[in-house]
């Protein structure tokens, strides 16, 4: 059963058949609100001197005791400096059965070695079946280090996860509760499904935005444990210290924008994208783009929406001159309202749009801007 908390992309079966040798006959979706003795979640935390900034769900571990029937909420672990008593209330509502808080002076700012030591030793204690990390700056650094230390292997930048059975016909083996790690490959032109039946934990990094946070509706024990960091981290791990930090302000808030105005190759030119920025300005929106527009050099890469870009969940998504390739749809299909402006009435994106304006983007957008200015307070 597919659950709405994962952005499950429905790819054409013929495409999957070509690129994947893994049967899709028996799978249950892996999603945020785990139940059962099923999972242990570890969150990496970045904490400033005053305000904790929590990367919720940046690390997820699933324990080996996978139950087929009744399951309990997950176990969570946090690492940081001076976080005791500051983060528990942020984590527990998400269905936490047991919370590990690693609070130590050398854990902020983030450095690779001590965090790697904590996870490697914690994994050895808990013996997780599956470990997932957010494909963030920290996750992309930490994940490979942990998987290398445990010789488990890792699949990077997954956009979909499923749990199911797997039959290795060559070896004549049957496996239960295997993690299907699904990610775009070859520049997003195909979708690869990867399994790791023989090594534990099964590890993957998950692209930001493909799983939405959901408050757990069941009951959880909400036990909090404060392990002694020195038992997990060797003193030599603190050899590298951060002397100075420079934090650049984000150029946009595409992921969190309530309204996104996105342009595709149909916009026509870099100059024509200025009209999208004008509309975004009056709507207090952010500007996004399809891969075709980015590849044409009309807009920076950090504004790309889709499988090889950013996944967004705005209340309103205005697609301007976007054909609607499946790779792009994967990054915006869960938008509240989708408005398509396209000169092609048969454009694929029109099939998922709530409203379709059949016309030239260069003519429609100026009229929208003018109308909105006239009718807004």
Domain boundaries, the chain: 13-238, 259-375
Q: Is residue 373 over pLDDT 60?
A: yes
pLDDT of residue 2: 28
| Residue bearing the bigger pLDDT, 235 or 42 | 235
pLDDT of residue 335: 92
pLDDT of residue 58: 31
Average pLDDT for 329-353: 92
Res. 188 pLDDT band, cuts 50 70 90: low
| Residue bearing the bigger pLDDT, 165 or 15 | 165
Average pLDDT for 267-282: 94
pLDDT of residue 77: 55
d(CA 339, CA 337): 7
Q: What is the 3-state secondary structure (H, E, C) of the chain?
A: CCCCCECCCCCCHHHHHHHCCCCCCCEEECCCCCCCCCCEEEEEEEECCCCEEECCCCEEEECCCCCCCCCCCCEEEEEECCCCCCCHHHHHHHCCCEEEEEECHHHCCCCHHHHHHHHHHHHHHHCCCEEEEECCHHHHHHHHHHHHHHCCCCEEEECEEEEEEEEECCCCEEEEEEEEEEEEECCCCEEEEECCCCCCCEEEEECCCCECCCCCCCCCCCEEECCCHHHCCCHHHHCCCCCCCCCCCCCCCCCCCCEEEEECHHHCCCCCHHHHHHHHHHHCCEEEECHHHHHCCCCCHHHEECCCCECCCCCEEEEECCCCCHHHHCCCCCCCEEEEEECCCCCHHHHCCCEEEECCHHHHHHHHHHHHHHHCC
Q: What is the mean pLDDT of the chain?
A: 76
Cβ(280)–Cβ(286) below 8 Å? yes
Res. 50 pLDDT band, cuts 50 70 90: very low
Residue 104 has phi, psi (to 5 degrees) of -150, 150
pLDDT of residue 275: 94
Show the tokens assigned to 339: 């408005």
pLDDT of residue 213: 67
Name the burial class of residue 205, with classes exposed (0-12), middle (13-18) and buried (19+) by CB atoms within 10 angstroms of its CB.
buried
Average pLDDT for 211-221: 70
pLDDT of residue 368: 92
CATH code at 259-375: 3.40.50.1220
List, for residues 71-103, the tens digit of each pLDDT value. Answer: 334 555 566 666 777 777 777 777 777 777 888
Average pLDDT for 176-184: 87
Name which of 70, 59, 72 is nearest 118 in CA terms: 59
Res. 159 pLDDT band, cuts 50 70 90: confident
Q: Is residue 227 over pLDDT 70?
A: yes
Residues 6+ apart with CB under 8 A from 322: 262, 263, 264, 265, 266, 290, 328, 340, 342, 347, 349
Average pLDDT for 43-51: 42
Res. 366 pLDDT band, cuts 50 70 90: very high
pLDDT of residue 82: 67
d(CA 326, CA 190): 10
Average pLDDT for 234-253: 85
d(CA 61, CA 39): 6
24: preceding bond cis by omega (within 30 degrees): no
- Same fold? 13-238, 259-375: yes
Res. 241 pLDDT band, cuts 50 70 90: confident
Average pLDDT for 248-271: 90
CATH code at 13-238: 3.40.50.620
Place of tokens 């984000």: 250
Global pTM reads 0.67
User: By percentage, how much of the chain surpasses pLDDT 90?
Assistant: 33
Average pLDDT for 121-131: 84
Res. 272 pLDDT band, cuts 50 70 90: very high
pLDDT of residue 186: 74
pLDDT of residue 341: 95
Average pLDDT for 224-238: 89
């Amino acid at each position: 059963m597919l659950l709405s908390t994962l952005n499950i992309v429905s790819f054409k079966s013929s495409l999957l058949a070509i690129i994947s040798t893994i049967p899709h006959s028996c799978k249950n979706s892996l999603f945020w609100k785990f139940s059962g003795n099923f999972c242990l979640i570890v969150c990496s935390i970045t904490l400033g001197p005053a305000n904790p900034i929590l990367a919720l769900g940046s690390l997820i571990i699933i324990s080996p005791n996978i139950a087929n029937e009744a399951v309990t909420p997950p176990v969570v672990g946090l690492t940081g400096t001076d976080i005791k008593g500051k983060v528990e209330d942020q984590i527990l509502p998400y269905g936490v059965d047991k919370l590990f808080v690693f609070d130590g002076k050398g854990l902020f700012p983030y450095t690779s070695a001590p965090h790697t030591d904590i996870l490697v030793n914690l994994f050895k204690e808990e013996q997780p079946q599956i470990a997932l990390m957010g494909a963030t700056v920290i996750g992309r650094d930490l994940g490979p280090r942990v998987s290398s230390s445990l010789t488990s292997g890792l699949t990077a930048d997954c956009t979909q996860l499923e749990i199911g059975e797997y039959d290795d016909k060559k070896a004549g083996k049957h496996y239960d509760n295997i993690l299907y790690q699904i990610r775009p490959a070859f520049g997003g032109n195909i979708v690869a499904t990867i399994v790791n039946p023989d090594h534990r934990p099964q590890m993957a990094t998950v692209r930001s935005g493909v799983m939405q946070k959901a408050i757990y509706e069941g009951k959880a024990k909400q036990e909090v444990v404060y392990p002694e960091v020195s038992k997990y981290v060797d003193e030599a791990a603190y050899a590298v210290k951060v002397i100075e930090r420079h934090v650049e302000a984000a150029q946009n808030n595409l992921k969190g924008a309530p309204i996104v105005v996105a342009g595709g190759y149909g916009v026509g030119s870099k100059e024509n994208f200025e009209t999208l920025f004008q509309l975004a300005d009056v709507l207090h929106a952010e500007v996004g783009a399809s891969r075709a527009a980015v590849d044409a050099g009309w807009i920076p890469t950090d504004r790309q929406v889709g499988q090889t870009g950013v996944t967004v969940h705005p209340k309103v998504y205005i697609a301007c001159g976007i054909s609607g390739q499946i790779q792009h749809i994967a990054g915006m299909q869960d938008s509240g309202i989708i408005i398509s402006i396209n000169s092609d009435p048969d454009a694929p994106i029109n099939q998922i749009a709530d409203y379709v304006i059949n016309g030239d983007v260069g003519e429609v957008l100026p009229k929208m801007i003018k109308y909105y200015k006239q009718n807004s307070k």
